[in-house]
Amino acid sequence: MSSTEQGTSSAAPAEPTTAPESAAAPEVPESFYYVHGKDKVVHKVSAGALQHSALIHGMISNLGYTEEQAKANPFPFENIDGDILQMVVDWCNQHKGKPTPPEDTNLPKQKEKLFDLVLAVNYLEIKELLTYCCKQVAMMVKGKSPEEIREIWMIPTDAEDEAAEKEAKKRAGKEAAGETAAAAGDAK
Amino acid sequence: MPISLLSLPIADLQYALNCMDVSDLIAFSLCSKRTKNLVKSSNREIESISAKVDENRVRICIMAEIYREDANTRYYRNVVFKLFDSYIELHRNCGIEVWRKQEFTQSHWIAHILSIFDKSMIEELQICQACPIPYLDTVKKIILKCQKLEIRDRCPNDFAKIAISKLSSLAVEMVEINKNIFDDENDISKFLTLNLTSVSLCDHETPFKLKLEDLLTTNIAKLIIRTAIITEKELNRFVKLWIKGSQRFCRLEYIRLHLEDGIEMNRQEVFKGVKYQVTEDLGNLFALTRQDGKELRGSIEGTLILLLFR
């Protein structure tokens, strides 16, 4: 298993030099967690950066891992491609403890990547990033005609939708018939 | 792997739709029945939707707020398109785009737009200038109902009268005429007998001359005239006839008349021989009650006459 170290630079606390003694708060060492996607590449992320994800934040709170346990048990996100998870981790690190700006110009412009990012971010429950991504999705069709939008967003025609619906119904009917036959067989 | 917008989780999809400008949203709604329903369920609010008739074409104008989540100031933009059977011409980005939908007539285009923005009718139908008379029948077929019909001042008088006779029944709330189109005294009398809810006549250059008979025969519930010419004597006779409880005036709810600048009504003259109360603490309002309990309230202040019937 390969490993990339993410967010380590922000882990070292700056030495307080001029702060008066009475105001100096005790330094709490930052804890780190580990995540990996479909490609099994492990990313080390600070707890502060991971606070953006409601899903991971909830997992951390529920599991109560020590740093050693966390290192030994990276959170697996097998449904997220490695490069997409890398983007998410980068974004979380960049926006750690900062107010989120109204626009984010670093998001991918390629349609496939953006859609995968939306699905991943939706799964990880990162609200601010999801907002940016959805805006980016909307921007893809700015000033486009219905025909162009159909092409960009791969929207089926009414006839295609109807055919798909018929097919789904047919499949559901077959499955139901199969279950009934199996139940009858069991009863015998 | 094919990826489509419609495969996004519904909440994300709706959020993306919320970020879109109205013209993009309309384009998206035209892709399929499914996209139309998605736009409908996004509950996008628009400021207004009006139809303008110029020469022989209907233009639809949608005023909507521009999407700016982070801004405190609201910005609005007009989306304007001309209607044709099977296509529309959209004026956007300093150019004209053509969107086609083979099976759509002009009525279909309007029905589609009203449906996606959850509107039951066009809010304002403006007749901006003269068009061929038969085209007014087409307009009537395309726009089944509107809240307000407005006849603009560029319409010639004869055309405006025909437009009113053909289209006033479409207006469920108000008919507004921005020009004195009434050439002789009979004209305005005839117009005021139309069964309309609310009428606003507006012309500052050529005031509307009103006679007692005009007020007696009116079948309009709410009448606003700016600028009107009427004498104190005629108003006095009108008030006296109202007190007698004539069968007329059954529909009248209010009359608001704005007189010409510099002409002021003398209230004493208007109420000569009539018993009435004045409540000076409430802005010099007058009130009088007739035998059947009906009330006439209002005010005569400077160039404004307001009569409220209850």
Q: With helix as H, strand as E and coil as C, how does B28-58 read?
A: HHCCCHHHHHHHHHCCCCCCEEEEEEECCEE
pLDDT recorded at residue A97: 79
Average pLDDT, chain A: 80
- Cis omega (within 30 of 0) on the bond before B138? no
**Which member of A102, A131, A154 has the closest CB to residue B2?**
A154
Least confident stretch, A51-55, A172-176, A179-183: A179-183
Question: Nearest-CA distance from B3 to chain A in Å?
Answer: 7
Closest CA to B199 of B151, B265, B163, B154: B151
Report, in angstroms and rounded to the nearest whole number, the Rg of chain A calculated over CA atoms: 23
Kindly report, residue by residue over B6-15, the tens digit of the pLDDT: 888 888 899 8
Residue B35 and residue A155: Cβ atoms within 8 Å?
Answer: yes
pLDDT recorded at residue B2: 40
Q: What percent of chain B has pLDDT over 90?
A: 65
User: B293 pLDDT band (50/70/90 cuts)?
Assistant: confident
Kindly report, residue by residue over B81-92, the tens digit of the pLDDT: 999 999 999 988
Question: Nearest-CA distance from A17 to chain B in Å?
Answer: 39
User: A60 pLDDT band (50/70/90 cuts)?
Assistant: confident
| Chain B residues in contact with chain A using a Cβ-Cβ cutoff of 8 Å | 1-9, 11-12, 15-17, 19-21, 23-24, 27-28, 30-35, 69-70, 92-93, 97, 99, 101
DSSP A143: T
For residues A137-150, average pLDDT: 92
pLDDT recorded at residue A14: 34
Question: Nearest-CA distance from A143 to chain B in Å?
Answer: 6
User: A65 pLDDT band (50/70/90 cuts)?
Assistant: confident
Kindly report, residue by residue over B154-206, the tens digit of the pLDDT: 999 999 999 999 999 999 999 999 999 998 766 898 899 998 999 999 999 99
For residues B198-217, average pLDDT: 93
Distance between CA atoms of residues A180 and A66, nearest Å: 51
User: B3 pLDDT band (50/70/90 cuts)?
Assistant: low
Residue B20 and residue A158: Cβ atoms within 8 Å?
Answer: no
pLDDT recorded at residue B74: 77
Residue of chain B whose Cα is closest to the Cα of A113: B3
Mutation site for B-interface testing, chosen from A114, A117, A158 by largest number of B Cβ within 10 Å: A158
**Which member of A134, A135, A149 has the closest CB to residue B28?**
A149
Are B204 and B177 in contact by the 8 Å Cβ rule? The answer is no
Bigger pLDDT: A128 vs A180: A128
User: A11 pLDDT band (50/70/90 cuts)?
Assistant: very low
**Which member of A115, A145, A153 has the closest CB to residue B99?**
A145
Residue of chain A whose Cα is closest to the Cα of B91: A143
Is residue B229's pLDDT more than 90?
Answer: yes
Residue of chain A whose Cα is closest to the Cα of B6: A155
Give SS3 for A16: coil
CA atoms within 13 A on the CB side of A121: 28
Q: Can you tell me the ipTM of this complex?
A: 0.82
Closest CA to B15 of A135, A124, A54: A135
pLDDT recorded at residue A18: 37
Residue B28 and residue A141: Cβ atoms within 8 Å?
Answer: yes
Q: CB under 8 Å to A162, separation ≥6 — which residues?
A: none
Q: What is the DSSP string of chain B?
A: ----GGGS-HHHHHHHHHTS-HHHHHHHHTS-HHHHHHHHHTT---SEEEEEEETTEEEEEEEEEPP-TT-SS--EEEEEEEEETTEEEEEETTEEEEEE-TT--HHHHHHHHHHHTT-SSEEEEEE-S---HHHHHHHHHH---EEEEEE-TTS-HHHHHHHHHHHGGGEEEEEEE-S----SHHHHHHHHTS--SEEEEE-SSSPEE--HHHHHH---SEEEEEEEE--HHHHHHHHHHHHHT-STTSS--EEEEEEPTT----HHHHTTT---EEEGGGTSEEEEE-TTS-EEEEEEETTEEEEEE-
Mutation site for B-interface testing, chosen from A81, A113, A115, A130 by largest number of B Cβ within 10 Å: A115
Closest CA to A100 of A49, A61, A45, A33: A49
User: A20 pLDDT band (50/70/90 cuts)?
Assistant: very low
Is residue B106's pLDDT more than 80?
Answer: yes
For residue A123, what is the enclosing H or E element? Answer: helix A111-124
**Which member of A138, A141, A155 has the closest CB to residue B32?**
A155
Least confident stretch, A57-66, B105-114, B243-252: B243-252
A3-7+29-140 folds as: Potassium Channel Kv1.1; Chain A (3.30.710)
Is residue A2's pLDDT more than 80?
Answer: no
Residue B30 and residue A146: Cβ atoms within 8 Å?
Answer: yes
Kindly report, residue by residue over B53-101, the tens digit of the pLDDT: 988 899 999 999 886 665 667 788 899 999 999 999 998 878 899 999 9
User: A42 pLDDT band (50/70/90 cuts)?
Assistant: very high
Least confident stretch, A108-112, B97-101, B120-124, B236-240: A108-112
Which residues on chain A are in Cβ contact (under 8 Å) with B79?
A: none
Residue B8 and residue A137: Cβ atoms within 8 Å?
Answer: yes
Which residues on chain A are in Cβ contact (under 8 Å) with B16?
A: 134-135, 137-138
Domain ranges of chain A: 3-7+29-140
Q: What is the pTM of this model?
A: 0.81
Closest CA to B69 of A108, A138, A179, A18: A138
Residue A142 and residue B28: Cβ atoms within 8 Å?
Answer: no
Kindly report, residue by residue over B238-257, the tens digit of the pLDDT: 999 988 876 556 788 999 99
pLDDT recorded at residue B37: 96
**Which member of B4, B12, B31 has the closest CB to residue A146?**
B31
Least confident stretch, A14-23, A90-99, A108-117, B113-122: A14-23
For residues B213-224, average pLDDT: 92
